[in-house]
Chains A and B, each alone.
Chain A
């Protein structure tokens, strides 16, 4: 998911460590100086585990997130904080290579040998891992009353078949970017309904204040599903029926919502036709160069908008929850990675203990401050340090409150391809109801 583009620096770091390993082999004792340096880097964990032979050893696999520090540092901090459990970090590719991370995890989990004991997973994989029996149900460790500490949307995404099979870690979601200066000029009120948004955007466009009223992402890709989930949910609709066994995409709420997206291009003309080929970055560029009034995007845009080198709209941008239809509630598509325990883990207690620590308020605060990953616990958004160091993130609590998971089904990978094709066809042809109905039929065949 391009949400985490900034983390892609991690791929370099991975490359480095394997390079060093190889060098260590080749040079051996021949070059003491280089050898010593590589030893220092690569076997820090190894030496400590030798010393702590009596500790329970577990492994933790995750896509590599980077910020001021890496996940390896976080794991090291945990290992130093106590003397019962020793965690070995298995580094997967960065989250920008989502498909590779997915394959890497599945290959390990499918062996059912208990490695890795703990893993992190994109929200859309949770149901699949649970249905395959790879993820340990966590209900007995995290009873219902404890789950109130997390955003309800993340808990919903972590629940499959009424069992909690993942523990919330960090979140991201779609949000509504707007230009403060233009909103002030056109009524001074941030629109709360899609209708108001379209009216204001059209007015601003007509007055020549913005080339584009509203930017979103219509490329036939995963992001289209996110945009669709947001509008559909904000009209009280849904892609899958509550039981997850059939699709209600062809019903009125969803059709109206997708029709609204179609109209932004063809009727209200607040969006250029180009959104149909745009994913996150192409839609971000006109916004940060000052050509647009409103935009739907992820949290990564804000730091770019505030960077004078990359943006013409420094200090003119703010974020609000996405608008909704009259009578509906604002919805934001949930992203982020959540934690899971391998059902075949032989060291369950240690795994749970590490999992609890990873999701604890302290660790989540550290993730927020050092990695830029937003906490899944609303309480942390009140943290004074977070407010001081990451004021933008601290302001997002109300955005994440409306975070809605994408369809929860073990067949998500197939469902999303059918959805991408169907919604794209609806948006291109304008035959919204017919295309959504036929997509719903296809999805029925997949999930039934």
Chain B
């Protein structure tokens, strides 16, 4: 760190021999980073937004600027709103469950007990699995005929006949949410665990000496100090959950009766099956805007939280 700080100072002393004014140097050195970032992330976003104002289609070879026509169509498009609500519901339900279960897991793993290291490592296995594999696995677990979930529930007397988890609009999305919770809870647990470890031990010890119960310590010390981490982890998770694609694509393809269609699968269908790049980009931009709003809500909470603590 120290050398990094002093280096520009050295540069400034030798500046007079250089042809370029010193103010330009940092920009010049940043240029490669700007170019690479701009070409792989800024340009595609801008181009995507531009496409959403055109009627470009590979099939019809149209490529004209149509203004907000795509967005007007979008707002009146029932399949879009259907997918939008599913996606929002999926995001809220999966992020909420993952945060709660992840928090519980983190609290347990924070305690010291023998074999903790092994369990911490083993916990991450679901998260490390490719989503397509998880999807196939849950496909079998919840299979309507031979799935073990039906077998267990049937024998435990909780249901009186096999439930067709993916074939019924009442259960399909819930089952997909369960699969996502199973897969990503460890990720939440891991993030929250690191957050918990930053809570000073001295505070907890002091509370204990004052006779505080575990619940009081959690509620008054750990949770408030964990809140920024919780919000950041929630933000990560919510933005990620919002893009859900693989689980839906592999398990149901959006069906039955559109009951599991999400924005990602819908925009995939529009973009790559029907090759309407204009309208498909409008759907993607709408996704982008919704994600932006989710991020803003989280950030507002986060800023308020940080203000409160500092």
Contacts and interface: CB of A to CB of B under 8 A. Distances in A.
A interface, size bucket: 20 to 34
B169 interface: yes
Given A132-B59, A414-B274, A424 B166 contact: no
B272 A103 contact: yes
Given A276-B164, A276-B256, A99 B145 contact: no
B147 to A, nearest CB: 10
A235 interface: no
Between A272, A278, A427, A428, the greatest number of chain B beta carbons within 10 A of the residue's beta carbon is seen for A428
Interface stretch (B37-45, B90-98, B226-234, B247-255): B247-255
Interface in A61-118: 99, 103, 106-107, 110
B144 A220 contact: no
B58 A274 contact: no
B175 to A, nearest CB: 10
B126 to A, nearest CB: 23
B255 A128 contact: no
Given A274-B144, A277-B164, A417-B273, A110 B58 contact: yes
A421 interface: yes
Contacts of B274: 413-414, 417
Q: Which of B60, B143, B172, B253 has the largest count of A CB atoms less than 10 A from its CB? A: B253
Interface in A210-269: 218-221
A220 B265 CA distance: 13
Contact of A99 (B61, B164, B256, B272): B272
Interface string B138-164: 000001110000000000000000001
B48 interface: no
A335 to B, nearest CB: 17
B253 A220 contact: yes
A129 B96 CA distance: 47
Given A272-B144, A272-B145, A219 B59 contact: no
B60 A132 contact: yes
Interface in A272-293: 272-278, 286
Nearest to A274: B144
A220 B252 contact: yes
For the residues of A in contact with B, the DSSP-based class is helix
B36 to A, nearest CB: 24
Nearest to B169: A428
Contacts of A132: 59-61
Give the most central of B145, B169, B272: most A CB within 10 Å.
B145
B145 A276 contact: no
Given A103-B272, A410-B59, A413-B274, A273 B167 contact: yes
A420 interface: yes
A425 B258 contact: yes
B252 A277 contact: yes
A429 interface: yes
B59 A273 contact: no
Contacts of A410: 59
Contacts of B60: 132
Nearest to A413: B274
Given A103-B275, A106-B58, A413-B275, A274 B145 contact: yes
B146 to A, nearest CB: 9
A278 B253 CA distance: 11
B269 interface: yes
Contact of A106 (B164, B252, B254, B275): B275
Contact of B255 (A107, A220, A414): A220
Contacts of B252: 219-220, 277
Interface in A402-431: 410, 413-414, 417, 420-421, 424-425, 427-429
A287 B275 CA distance: 37
A428 B275 contact: no
B24 interface: no
Interface string B165-184: 01111001000000000000
5 contacts: A99-B273, A106-B58, A220-B257, A277-B172, A424-B258
